[in-house]
């Protein structure tokens, strides 16, 4: 089982994507879960805003934030 944590730093909040992936001996994906958290600067509390079972959730989120910025974050919270 492999766990990857991706942190995307913003001006007022940080977004953290925790990905857990389990593969079989041939490299096929058995289980994949990504949890997306938001954390305000200066706070230790993080809030779960979305879960995803689609592989590559962190990469897609990073591309969307680079392209659209804060608007992407607003779409996640609604």
Q: Decide if pLDDT at 45 tops 90.
A: yes
> What is the per-residue pLDDT across 18-41, written as a single tens digit (0 to 9) for each?
989 898 889 888 888 988 898 888
User: Count of domains in the chain?
Assistant: 1
**Domain limits at 36?**
2-77
Q: Are 72 and 51 in contact (CB under 8 A)?
A: no
Q: Are 62 and 4 in contact (CB under 8 A)?
A: no
pTM of the model: 0.73
34: Cα separation from own chain's centroid:
6
> What is the per-residue pLDDT across 54-74, written as a single tens digit (0 to 9) for each?
887 777 777 877 777 767 766
């Amino acid at each position: 089982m492999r766990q990857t944590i991706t942190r995307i730093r913003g001006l007022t909040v940080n977004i953290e994507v925790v990905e857990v992936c389990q593969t079989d001996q041939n490299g096929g994906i058995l289980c994949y879960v990504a949890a997306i958290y938001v954390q305000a600067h200066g706070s230790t509390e993080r809030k779960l805003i979305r879960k995803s079972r689609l592989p590559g959730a962190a990469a897609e989120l990073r591309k969307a934030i680079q392209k659209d910025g804060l608007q992407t974050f607003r779409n996640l919270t609604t």
